[in-house]
């Protein structure tokens, strides 16, 4: 009897942190998505230089440079729905391994050609689907090992790997591209990410069915009744649509900047522009962890409102910075840090909100559906940015103004989300008493 009582505690301390660190490691590899601006700059340079296709050049339309990235965001997000359901049924290990295989094959495909449609299919579809599988497996497996009081922290730690990835991928990409060229660099990444993700996926495991983590009250958690909700239940809730729209605008604005930060920074930093990508990545990772901890203490919705409002201010500030020839490197790095920090908070707050509202049993598919807003936001905002920049001869200010306006609207929606969550919390607290 004594052994059975101590086993869950041992599992929570050992296996839970092993799974968390493995998930973080998987996301460190899958975060290659956020290094797209490095690849984008190289493709743009090739187009403007008029390099011939036969010589390894990219003969693309300038307005279409972000298309592989935009499609990748979209496929990543929507693949989270079937991947989440697959993870709920077959477990995180197989789901993440499939993700590693797809990412590896996608990079190997684009390493064979510079054609536009090959890159859309390889980077956009295959890499996007692979990232979706890996990402869908990592977070649910980790948070199942911990009490609700640690949901924000654990979710923040796991997804921090994704945000932190460009901190090493950006300088590594620059070195490899300078040494071997863009195409061969894609081949190297394909092999490396396949081996890394598939290996770490073997460490992902759900807790035993009878396992119950030690429970401690969380300021943000409202699932005190222990109720579990299906995707159909979630889709019937008006809270879902408010959350989806808020996530769409909050994530889309951040992804717009991430997709183009390298080319924006080149205006003031020249060959050191990759540092802006690194700094943004560091801010992104820290923001995910910090938001998780803060939201565990003051509530998800309060954290979300503050983050969205501040991000709107940053976008309006950027209007006077990004197109100015007088902008210095320090100003650009400072702006990138804050934008990355605020964007990163989305990726820990929204999965925590999903778990709080609709439970853990169907978290994979439920969060997959909500995460589709992230993909649509990335697709729409990055595509709009590229079209505006192309139409205005390189001016980015109109795109930042548009993003700032949407972020203000998102902050307003977050306030209504808070009201609905407070009402729902009251109803769930009264339900057990009435029973």
- What pTM was estimated for this model as a whole? 0.74
Average pLDDT over residues 82-91: 86
Question: Is the model's pLDDT at 30 over the cut of 80?
Answer: yes
**Cβ atoms of 337 and 276 closer than 8 Å:** no
For residues 137 and 92, what is the distance between their CA atoms, to the nearest angstrom?
5
- Min mean pLDDT across 68-82, 348-362, 388-402 is at 388-402
Q: Determine how many CB atoms are found less than 10 A away from the CB of residue 99.
A: 30
Q: What is the DSSP string of 248-279?
A: HHHHHHHHHHHHHHHHHHHHHHGGGTHHHHHH
* Model pLDDT, residue 109: 96
Smallest Cα–Cα separation from 161: which of 260, 250, 281? 281
Return the residue matching tokens 């092999």.
191
Smallest Cα–Cα separation from 282: which of 166, 370, 365? 166
Alpha helices by DSSP H, 91-165: 92-110, 116-119, 128-143, 151-164
In three state form, how does the secondary structure of 27-95 look?
A: HHHHHHHHHHHHHHHHHHHHHHHCCCHHHCCCCCCHHHCCHHHHHHHHHHHHHHHHHHHHHHHHCHHHH
Average pLDDT over residues 157-163: 83
For residues 29 and 39, what is the distance between their CA atoms, to the nearest angstrom?
16
Average pLDDT over residues 253-282: 75
Percentage of residues in the chain with pLDDT exceeding 70? 87
Task: Convert the pLDDT of each residue in 409-433 to its tens digit.
Answer: 999 999 888 887 777 767 666 555 5
* Model pLDDT, residue 379: 84
Question: Is the model's pLDDT at 197 over the cut of 70?
Answer: yes
Average pLDDT over residues 75-99: 90
Specify whether domain 14-208+217-434 bears CATH 1.20.1250.20.
yes
Domain ranges of the chain: 14-208+217-434
Alpha helices by DSSP H, 181-328: 182-201, 231-235, 238-269, 274-298, 300-319
Question: Is the model's pLDDT at 130 over the cut of 70?
Answer: yes
């Amino acid at each position: 009897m004594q052994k059975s009582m101590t086993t869950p505690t041992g599992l929570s301390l050992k296996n839970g942190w092993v799974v968390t660190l493995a998930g973080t490691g998987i996301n460190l590899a899958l975060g290659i998505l956020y290094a797209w601006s490095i690849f984008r700059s190289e493709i743009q340079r090739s187009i403007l230089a008029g390099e011939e296709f036969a010589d390894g050049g990219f003969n693309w339309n300038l307005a279409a440079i972000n298309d592989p990235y935009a499609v990748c965001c979209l496929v990543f997000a929507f693949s989270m729905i079937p991947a989440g359901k697959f993870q709920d049924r077959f477990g995180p290990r197989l789901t993440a391994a499939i993700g590693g295989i797809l990412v590896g094959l996608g990079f190997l495909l684009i390493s064979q050609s510079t054609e536009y449609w090959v890159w859309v299919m390889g980077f956009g579809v295959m890499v996007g689907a692979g990232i979706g599988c890996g990402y869908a497996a990592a977070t649910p497996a980790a948070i199942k090992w911990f009490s609700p009081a640690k949901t924000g922290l654990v979710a923040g730690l796991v997804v921090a790997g994704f945000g932190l990835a460009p901190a090493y991928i950006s300088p590594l990409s620059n070195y490899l591209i300078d040494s071997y060229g863009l195409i061969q660099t894609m081949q190297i990444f394909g092999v490396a990410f396949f081996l890394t993700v598939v290996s770490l996926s073997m460490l992902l495991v759900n807790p035993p069915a009878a396992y119950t983590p030690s429970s401690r009250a969380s300021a943000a958690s409202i699932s005190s009744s222990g109720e579990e909700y299906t995707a159909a239940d979630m889709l019937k809730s008006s809270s879902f649509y408010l959350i989806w729209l808020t996530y769409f605008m909050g994530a889309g604005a951040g992804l717009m900047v991430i997709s183009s930060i390298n080319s924006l920074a080149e205006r003031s930093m020249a060959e050191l522009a990759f540092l802006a990508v690194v700094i943004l990545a560091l801010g992104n990772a820290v923001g995910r962890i910090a938001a998780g901890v803060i939201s565990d203490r003051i509530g998800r919705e309060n954290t979300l409102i503050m983050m969205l409002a501040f991000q709107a201010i940053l976008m309006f500030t950027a209007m006077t910075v990004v197109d100015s020839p007088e902008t210095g490197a320090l100003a650009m790095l400072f702006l990138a840090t804050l934008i990355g920090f605020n964007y990163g908070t989305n990726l820990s707050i929204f999965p925590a909100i999903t778990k709080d509202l609709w439970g853990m049993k169907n978290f994979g598919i439920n969060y997959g559906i909500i995460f589709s807003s992230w993909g649509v936001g990335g697709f729409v905002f990055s595509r709009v940015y590229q079209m505006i920049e192309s139409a205005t001869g390189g001016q980015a200010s109109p795109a930042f103004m548009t993003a700032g306006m949407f972020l203000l609207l998102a902050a307003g929606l977050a306030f209504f989300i808070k009201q609905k969550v407070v009402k729902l919390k009251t109803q769930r607290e009264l339900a057990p008493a009435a029973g």
